[in-house]
Amino acid sequence: MQGDDLVTGRKVQSVSTVLTVEDRDGVRTLTLNRPDSFNSLTVELKETLLAALLAAGEDPAVRSVVLTGAGKAFCGGQDLKEHLALLAAGDPSPLSTVEKHYNPIVTAITTLPKPIIAAVNGMAAGAGASFAYACDLRIVSSSAKFLMAFAGIGLTADSGSAWTLPRLVGYGRAMEMMLLGAPVTADEALALGMVNQVVPPEQVTQVAHDLAARLAAGPTTAYAKIKEALLASAGGTLAEGLAVEGRTQAEAGATIDHREGVAAFVEKRPPRFTGR
């Protein structure tokens, strides 16, 4: 199902009952849509989200992405009711969901060739919190909390959180969050550097959209190269990081946006970037 709002230019698609897609101002908003279950992650939602992320990355009309949740939660992590039912039935699929679903989703988020912002409108737990950590920026409701709930159900970290969280808050605090499972409030998350901005609950989606629209109007190819360089350097040596910087800088320097940016600077006018 798809509908157009002629007043706002908003285009809304229902790719699935569990995920909605909205396009506006070059921004694609992906909304996890299981509010009665805190947007917990079923097999259907995981597969639909992965497909939507890949589609957004390939669509030239999409210049930035917002990931958020419907209702009062961002994402409660794995749907444990479905998980338990599959375990009880002897189905092996719950034990392979990390490799089949979570790892590809986090890879799609971190390697998306355009900026992606998490609009954390409420509780983000387990894999839900991990998805937010994997995004490039995080706009958070003042009522939101982050909970690393893995140890509480006898599991270890997944969805990239063992890699992303220490890089946001440091090894010691990440270990504390993982072992003790105490929720982190929005203000605490801001103080720790885990999130970029805390806003009133009713403003989260709009603030995230406005920031995404600002990025959408920018040099999106350069943003993709920045993401690639940071990702490579985060896990590599200085020499490896320098090599990636050299390559990506040459690639960005060959774009129309680079020439436009330099011309605009010299001519003392705002640049008109096209993402090419």
Give pLDDT tens digits for 244-276. Answer: 999 999 999 999 999 988 998 999 999 999 888
Please, what are the domains in the chain?
Answer: 2-216 (3.90.226.10), 220-267 (1.10.12.10)
- Angle (CA) 147 150 152, round 5°: 90
Query: pTM of this prediction?
Result: 0.90
The amino acid occupying position 124 is A
DSSP string for 172-215: HHHHHHHHH---EEHHHHHHHTS-SEEE-GGGHHHHHHHHHHHH
Residue 174 pLDDT exceeds 60: yes
Q: How confident is the model at residue 24, as a pLDDT?
A: 96
Q: How far apart are CA 79 and CA 226, in angstroms?
A: 34
% residues pLDDT > 70 (the chain) = 89
State which H helix or E strand residue 23 sits in. Answer: strand 19-24
Q: How confident is the model at residue 150, as a pLDDT?
A: 86
